[in-house]
Amino acid sequence: MSDNQKISPEEICELYNVKRWGSGYFSVNEKGHLCVLPERREDGPHIDFMEVINEIREQNIAFPAVIRFHDILRSQVKLINMTFREAIKEYDYKGQFFGVYPIKVNQMREVVEEILDAGEPFNHGLEAGSKSELMATLAYNENPNSLTVLNGFKDQEYIKLALLGRKLGRKFIIVVENISEFGLIIKIAQEMKVKPLIGIRAKLTVRGSGRWAESSGERAKFGLTCSEILNGIALLKKNNMADCLKLLHFHTGSQVPDIRIIKDAIAEAGRIYADLYLSGITLEYFDIGGGLGIDYDGSRSANNSSRNYTLQEYALDVVSGVQQICDEVGVPHPNIVSESGRYITAHHSCVITNVVDTIHQTNSSFETGVIADEHILLTNMRESAESLTTDNYQEIFNDAQQAKTDAITAFKLGVVSLEERARIETLYWQVITRISQILAGVDFVPEELQQVEELKASQYLCNFSVFQSAADTWAISQLLPIMPVMRLNEKPQERCSIVDITCDSDGKIDKFISQSGYDKSLLLHAPIKGEDYFIGLFLTGAYQDVMGDMHNLFGRLNEVHIYCDDDDPTDFYIEEVIKGTSAEKVLATMQYNPDMMARQVKKEIDRQIHLGQIQPREGVRLIDFYEECLAGYTYLKF
């Protein structure tokens, strides 16, 4: 590698914004490999991605794969609890902090168990929003000192299950989302002879901004208006159950980009708390919901993939906001409950995939010589290519763009032949390549010509499905950090976008984080023939981790769970491998019968053997091959 191709760990981190989105968990080592720092310190353990990848390969686990770093999960749980505790101490706030993890953010049992385990010293509990999630909390949250907050729309079964939690001595709090639930809770609690813990979700008028703005505001699907709250309390009083009301909840939507929304919500909900308390309702918990954002693009701004505050500011603003209102009105400081999910899970998992091919626009290579009676558009394009200089490149660029568009129209009308079009395209890409070289040497690039690099960008075909592994980039244009995990001591010089192996033209990623906002292309290395080139999609641990769908019948990925071990020379060990979905399983989910399919194919092969079209030995091998593929991974095999 020559010196001008080299790049230092600091420079490459800067290029991919690693320090900003990585929250201290990611870094690049001297070998040019991406590393995980489970303790967020450069002098702590380093887990080298290439060592992880090599060990995965030794165990014959195929890529693409999800890699989970359990230590990051644990660290995030500790971080949120410690930060709130510090804020409480700093302000001499009288209430305590109770975190509850919303299962819907990442329902994987291993994730939920790890969070509960790491959260045990802090009494970190769970939040459920459906009957299935509630059943999971019954089985998994056994800590009698932590909370289980039950949101979502409820039927009789839901309430019965929640009250079962009370019978088991747990702090299960049923949060009323809808006025009719008061009646149901009163009735079933009386039938089961158990005292419920009740919460209410307030419908605030502050509207979130960001993507989930609709989760709050007057037209939100969830929550009670002020009059509904007062009517519900009257009903509880009539049934001698007003003392069951313990929690006030609101949720402003996920990934709140702007701290002002949080402050506004606290001001409004704080007043509701204070007024209810003054009227004799001894609420104990003030539940601020989720919404604590992640800086996906590293911009620290109020745009949708970022947030303009830190965890510390968030905690300080929440604590001081509630305190101010309480002190002003003279009511006790409630315990603060947070239902933060994204913040805890986003960093812990990533998707590692390899680039399997590259598609270069500019690779069009055909003869460009004159043909007899050629169309004028071809002659013009050739003249443009030949007359291009450093003085006229802007003019030539405009001519070439126009001539290319005209040529396609002319082709469709049958005026330009296939042979002529191939020549025009080749000449066009020669012009673009040359202009790009010229632009590299000039100080000022006119706005129109800034698209040249985008035009030239290649497509890197990666072995994964956007719909399965990066659903949020497709569904809600979530920006995810994407970068190679290797060759990071080498300057990446290929501008490209990412395409997946589904047959869907939406199966692509063409929006990337950059230092100045976002770019339509990403800088990667030119793959070396015969060598793997691994890239990672990061911060995939919240929501999309479990939302992937089976578009094109690509199933769930192989999963590898990593724990840090300071005594091991590599600083890690693989604790568990969960096999991704096999082709037969994906097919069976869609009501196919893989056994019958194999029998059917065998019958056809037998018939061909009988007809003498296939040799018996080959026939047996083909049947085995078909069955092997059925049992195999759904992704490309290399």
Give me the residues that bind ligand PLP (CB under 6 A), please. Answer: 102, 104-105, 129, 151, 251, 254-255, 289-292, 339-343
As to burial, measured by CB atoms within 10 angstroms (0-12 exposed, 13-18 middle, 19+ buried), residue 107 is middle
For residues 21 and 538, is the Cβ–Cβ distance under 8 A?
yes
Distance in Å, CB of 424 to ligand PLP, minimum: 52
- β-pairing verdict for 458-462 and 349-359: antiparallel
Query: What are the b/e assignments for 240-276, b being 16+ CB within 10 Å?
Result: ebbebbbbbbbbbbbbbbbbebbbbbbeebbebbbeb
Q: Which 8-state DSSP code applies to residue 476?
A: S
| C-beta closer to ligand PLP: residue 206 or 523 | 206
> Between residues 149 and 424, which has the closer beta carbon with respect to ligand PLP?
149
Crossing angle of helices 156-167 and 180-192, rounded to 10°: 50
Residue among 175 and 378 whose Cβ is closer to ligand PLP: 175
Smallest gap from residue 454 Cβ to ligand PLP (A): 33
> Which lies closer to ligand PLP via its Cβ, residue 199 or residue 232?
199
Nearer to ligand PLP, 155 or 328 (CB): 155
Of 76 and 582, CB closest to ligand PLP: 76
By beta-carbon proximity to ligand PLP, the closer residue of 343 and 397 is 343
**Whose Cβ is closer to ligand PLP: residue 105's or residue 427's?**
105
What amino acid is encoded at 250 in this protein? F
What is the rounded CA–CA span in Å between residue 635 and residue 638?
10
- Provide, rounded to whole angstroms, the least separation between the CB of residue 250 and ligand PLP: 9
How much of the chain is helix, strand and coil, in % rounded to 5? 45, 15, 40
What is the distance between the terminal CA atoms of the chain, rounded to a whole angstrom?
27
Of the two residues 152 and 232, which places its CB atom closer to ligand PLP in the complex?
A: 152
Using CB atoms, what's the residue nearest to ligand PLP? Answer: 290
From CA 574, how far away is CA 192, in angstroms rounded?
46
Prior bond to 481 cis, omega within 30?
no
Task: Name the minimum Å distance from CB 385 to ligand PLP.
Answer: 54
Count of Cβ atoms closer than 10 Å to residue 606 Cβ: 14
213 or 526: whose CB is closer to ligand PLP?
213
CA distances from 326 to 92, 251, 265 (A): 13, 20, 15
To the nearest whole angstrom, how small is the minimum distance from the Cβ of residue 113 to ligand PLP? 19
Mapped onto helix, strand or coil, the DSSP state of residue 605 is: helix
Q: Specify the residue, 216 or 582, whose C-beta has the smaller distance to ligand PLP.
A: 216
What's the token pair of residue 197? 């813990």
Burial of residue 194 (CB within 10 Å: 0-12, 13-18, 19+) is middle
Give the DSSP letter of residue 576.
Answer: E
What span, in angstroms and rounded, lies between the C-alpha atoms of 387 and 150? 72
Q: Please state the closest distance from residue 539 (CB atom) to ligand PLP, in A.
A: 13
Give the shortest CB-225-to-ligand PLP separation in angstroms.
17
β-partners of residue 338 are 99
**Residue 318 CB, nearest distance to ligand PLP (Å)?**
13
Token readout for 546 is 């479990």
Q: Are 448 and 428 in contact (CB under 8 A)?
A: no
Closest distance of CB 349 from ligand PLP, Å: 15
> What span, in angstroms and rounded, lies between the C-alpha atoms of 551 and 114?
30
Q: What single-letter DSSP state applies at residue 525? A: P
**Is the previous residue joined to 64 through a cis bond, with omega within 30 degrees of 0?**
yes
Q: How far is the CB of 362 from ligand PLP (least distance, A)?
A: 43
Q: How far is the CB of 176 from ligand PLP (least distance, A)?
A: 13
Tell me the CA distances in angstroms from 180 to 151, 224, 461, one per residue in order: 14, 10, 52
Identity of the residue, 83 or 340, whose beta carbon is nearer to ligand PLP in the bound complex: 340
Helix (H) or strand (E) segment spanning residue 134: helix 131-140
CB of 635 to ligand PLP, least distance (A): 29
Q: How far is the CB of 151 from ligand PLP (least distance, A)?
A: 5
Minimum CB distance to ligand PLP smaller for 74 or for 104? 104
